[in-house]
Amino acid sequence: MRRQHRTKIVATLGPATASTEKIAELFDAGVDVFRLNFSHGSQDDHKANYEIIRELEYETGRPIAVLMDLQGPKLRIGAFADGAVKLTEGAPFRLDRDEAEGDQTRVCLPHPEIYQAIEPGTNLLLDDGRIRLKVEECDKDFAQCSVVIGGELSDRKGVNVPGVVLPLSPLTRKDQDDLRFGLDLGVDWVGLSFVQRPEDIAEARKLITTRAAICAKLEKPAAIERLEEIIELSDAVMVARGDLGVEMPPEDVPVLQKRIIRACRQTGKPVIVATQMLESMIDAPTPTRAEASDVATAVYDGADAVMLSAETAAGKYPVEAASMMNRIIERVERAPNYRRMIDADELEPEATAADAISAAARQVAHTLSATAIVTFTTSGSTTLRAARERPEVPIIGLTPNVKTARRLSVVWGVHTVHSSDARDFQDMVTKASHFAVADGFAQESDRIIITAGVPFGTPGATNVLRVTRVEVD
Q: Which residues are known catalytic residues?
A: 35, 76, 217, 275
Which residues, other chains included, contact 176 with Cβ-Cβ below 8 Å and sequence gap of 6+? 207
Strands 8-13 and 305-308: parallel
Enter the DSSP assignment of 350. Answer: P
Enter the DSSP assignment of 158. Answer: B
| Contact yes or no for 79/156 (Cβ under 8 A) | yes
The candidate with the shortest Cα–Cα distance to 347, out of 234, 413, 233, 268, is 268
Strands 151-153 and 85-87: antiparallel
| Contact yes or no for 369/446 (Cβ under 8 A) | no
Report whether the peptide linkage leading into residue 455 is cis, meaning its omega lies within 30 degrees of zero.
Answer: yes
Rounded CA-CA distance 275/271 in Å is 13
Rounded CA-CA distance 158/129 in Å is 9
Residue type, 142: F
| Contact yes or no for 449/372 (Cβ under 8 A) | yes
The candidate with the shortest Cα–Cα distance to 295, out of 3, 2, 8, is 8
| Contact yes or no for 52/31 (Cβ under 8 A) | no
Please give the helix or strand (H or E) that residue 340 lies within, else none: helix 336-344
